[in-house]
Structure 1
Amino acid sequence: MKNNLEKTNLNIKNILSSAGALAGLILLCIVLSILSPYFLRIENIMNIARQSAINSLIAVGMLLAILTGGIDLSVGSVLALSTVIMAILVKNYNFNPIIGIIVCLGIGAFLGFLNGIMLTKLHLPHPFISTLGMMNIARGLALIITKATPISGFPKSIQYFGAAFIGMIPVSFILVIVVYIIYHIFLTKTPTGRYIYAVGGNPEAARLSGINVEKILIIVYTLSGLMASLGGVVLVGRVNAAYPLAGLSYELDAIAAVIIGGASFMGGIGTVWGTLIGAMIMAVLRNGLNLLGVSAEWQTVAIGAVIIGAVYIDVLRRRAEAKVK
């Protein structure tokens, strides 16, 4: 009875957090449609969907880490290293492009797995440390193996996920929807998904209830690395190039999308659809500010203000919950 009540309360919290993000997205779209006559054009809407795809893919992996009360600072560097290795195999060693993509995804998952191993088996004090170390290792290796030189000119099969359209809809955004449906099912319908929420809500209680917390954390960071490399495949397809400095600050965009989407830095609260809305808010905001002629510097300021506001709302929500208890 108690477990059912706790599960119901968690579902309500997740729904409310996502609903708040959705209301914010709708309000932002209304304001920008008033300020710019170009905003609601179908071409611009599809452009926003395309622009949001990479961050959306990385952010769903980041969501898993944040749900456990952790963080993954290595996703941008993992993206860079996995994509330049794919590029070298395909361009220099004539690997089949599909094999190259599979290797790219495998490298991302493996690097994420190492993050999980460092956190659980080496008992590093916080995922900030393990993923910060991986961020520097992966970025350095990407620069070393490419000699800091971009690699460009890929076959259509690699460009497909980042550049192709089905009708007017970008393939990259269709990929995002498919991935988010899979992760929604994973988090809400499988024991492992429920364990991820449990670990974030109270790691010690999860351990005492028989959940293998170390195994869950390894799975979480492996999936985060996998999603970073999948975002990299889309990026390479979009720009038709792989370069060792790809993904700089992508971890910050992913964290922002998750937090704006209603997840809590304390862990245990957040949804995939809230994260998608958070990624869309960032893409819509950047697109709208571009249409209004706002400089890149002020766009950065605006994104920062939105992130602070989202975190402050989470703080207020937790204070309110503490008073009720």
Structure 2
Amino acid sequence: MSDTVESAAAEFARRQHSPLQKVQHQLHGKPWLSPLFLLLVAFVAFFIATPTFLTATSMGILLQQTAVVACLAVGQTLVILTAGIDLSVGAIMVLSMMVMASLAQDGGMPGILALLLGFVLATAAGALNGFLVTRVNLPPFIVTLGTLSIFTAIALLYSGGSSIQAEHLPRILNILGEGFSIGDFRLTWGIVVVVIVYIVIGFVLAQTAWGRYVYAVGDDPESARLSGVPSKRILLGVYTVAGLIYGIAAWVLIGRAGAATPNAVPDANLQSITAVVIGGTSLFGGRGRLIGTAIGALIVQTLQFGLSQMGVDQQWRVLATGVLVIVAVAVDQWIRKVKA
């Protein structure tokens, strides 16, 4: 009898919600809905402003430009799901890229071995971040702010500040810049690799105990610990896996840029964090999906690409990105206040 009464009371409460509260509940359960709506609005707006925006050629270029940030954003999502943040994403990617390229330059080392060593280095860099957070008990912001400077300096010192062009690199390091065309629409293998990364990590988060533990640690670390979740081990694993993903992003970047340069993607940190936050992943941890991250990365690049086609200056594009971040965080705060 009591169960029936409680069920009826809950149903009555739901009916009393205003339209805005109903939207709030929907976004709380499916945080990727709001960025999807924003993406559709952006597509329509830019199509009206520049009719060439929605052409097959333009869409192919947009996806190619999105690939690197989208890949970095996967690792950033893992970290933010645990209520952390990683400011070293771009530095780890660039360091890994320069090591891969320098080792394999002009046949100095077999390309596959150089690629694997780049992955190992990126994974170790992520593990270092995780060690400092979990074993030394330093805040993720401070740790990754410090390693941002360290990894950036090492990359510059190691490379001597010089770029390495594609013709000096083996094909395996350049292959992700190649691809195939469907009419005027061109896809690169780099895009395919990023999609595979999303599928694999998405499956791990949704279908494995490790994925459930990641959400639990981000939602309430103390409760997770008391429930028997090995919180520190999970956190260390998150930063380590994120490092490997940054190494994959380095490989994608070489193919995309046609060169390895220590000054590549200077705003990678901002763009990856923006993509994750806009995609509905909460900065307070425990809530978010990779589908939202993918949409968020598309929004970031759509904004840059669309405004560029309109001839808007770079300064205004950066301004627009900053506004998007603030709005996304404000929406996240509002969604988290949802009431039963």
Answer whether TM exceeds 0.5 for this pair: yes
Say yes or no: does 1:219 pair with 2:232.
no
Hey, what does 1:7 align to over in structure 2?
A: none
1:195 and 1:30 map into 2 onto residues whose CA distance is 39
Whole-angstrom distance in 1 between the partners of 2:265 and 2:295: 21
Q: What is the identity, as a one-letter code, of the residue corresponding to 1:300?
A: V
Distance apart, 1:166 and its partner CA: 5.3
- 1:29 corresponding residue in structure 2: 43
1:72 matched to 2:72? The reply is no
Do the aligned residues in 1 keep the contact of 2:68 with 2:249 (CA within 8 Å)?
Answer: yes
**Which one is further off, 233-242 or 257-266?**
233-242
Alignment of 1:47 with 2:47, yes or no, is no
Distance 2:250 2:291 in 1: 21
Q: Residue 177 of structure 2 corresponds to which residue in structure 1?
A: 162
Task: State the alpha-carbon separation in 1 of the partners of residues 199 and 268 from structure 2.
Answer: 23
CA contact (8 A) 1:60 1:275 kept: yes
Contact 2:190-2:256 at 8 Å conserved across structures? no
Query: Shift in Å at residue 298 of structure 1?
Result: 0.6
SS in 2 for 1:169: strand
Amino acid at match of 1:115: N
Could you state the TM-score of these two structures normalised by the residue count of structure 2?
A: 0.88
Q: Matched residue of 1:280: which SS?
A: helix
2:146 alignment counterpart:
133
Q: 1:187-226 maps to which residues of 2 (within 5 A)?
A: 187-226=205-244
- 1:174 aligned residue (184, 192, 200): 192
The range that moved more, 260-269 or 145-154, is 145-154
Q: Compared with structure 1, are the counterparts of its residues 189 and 12 closer, same or farther at alpha carbon in structure 2 (3 Å cutoff)?
A: farther
Q: Which letter maps to 1:58?
A: L
Per the TM alignment, residue 21 of structure 1 is displaced from its structure 2 partner at its CA by 1.0
Cα distance between partner residues in 2 of 1:12 and 1:213: 30
1:111-154: CA deviations, max 9, x gaps? 00010011111111x10111111111111111111122222232
Kept in 2: contact 1:105–1:230 (CA 8 A)? yes
Match of 2:137?
123
Report the AA paired with residue 241 of structure 1. Answer: A
Aligned residue pairs total 311
In 2: Cα distance, 1:119 partner to 1:295 partner: 39
Which of the residues 89, 109, 115 maps onto 2:123? Answer: 109
Structure 1 unaligned blocks of 5 or more: 1-10
Q: Secondary structure at the match of 1:38?
A: helix
User: 1:29 and 1:13, CA in 2 relative to 1: closer, same or farther beyond 3 A?
Assistant: closer
Segments ≥4 residues shifted beyond 6 Å: none
Would the aligned equivalents of 2:28 and 2:336 in 1 still touch at CA under 8 Å? no
User: C-alpha distance in 1, partners of 2:272/2:292?
Assistant: 13
Alignment of 1:207-286 (within 5 A): 207-286=225-304
Q: Which runs of 5 or more residues in structure 2 are unaligned?
A: 1-24
Q: Is the 8 A contact 2:64 2:256 kept in 1?
A: no
Letter in 1 for 2:252: V
1:221 shift after superposition = 0.6
CA contact 2:91–2:152 (8 Å) conserved in 1: yes
Secondary structure in 2 matching 1:267? coil
Cα offsets for 1:81-136 (capped at 9, x unmatched): 11111111101662111221111111111100010011111111x10111111111
CA distance in 1, matches of 2:245, 2:181: 23
Distance of 1:218 and 1:314 partners within structure 2: 26
| Aligned-partner SS, 1:165 | strand
- SS of 1:263's partner is coil
Cα offset, 1:234, TM superposition: 1.1
Report the counterpart of residue 185 of structure 1 in structure 2: 203
Task: Judge which range, 11-20 or 167-176, deviates more.
Answer: 11-20
Q: CA deviation at 1:15?
A: 4.8
Calculate percent identity across the aligned residue pairs: 36
Task: Check conservation: 2:107, 2:170, Cα contact below 8 A.
Answer: no
Give the match's secondary structure for 1:17: coil
Give 3-state SS (helix, strand or coil) of 2:54's partner: coil
Provide the alpha-carbon RMSD of the alignment. Answer: 1.6
User: If the length of structure 1 is used for normalisation, what is the TM-score?
Assistant: 0.92
Name the counterpart of 2:21: none
CA deviations over 1:218-273 (Å, ceiling 9, x no partner):
11111111111211111111222212223422111000000000111100111000
- Rounded Cα–Cα distance in structure 1 between residues aligned with 2:69 and 2:159: 24
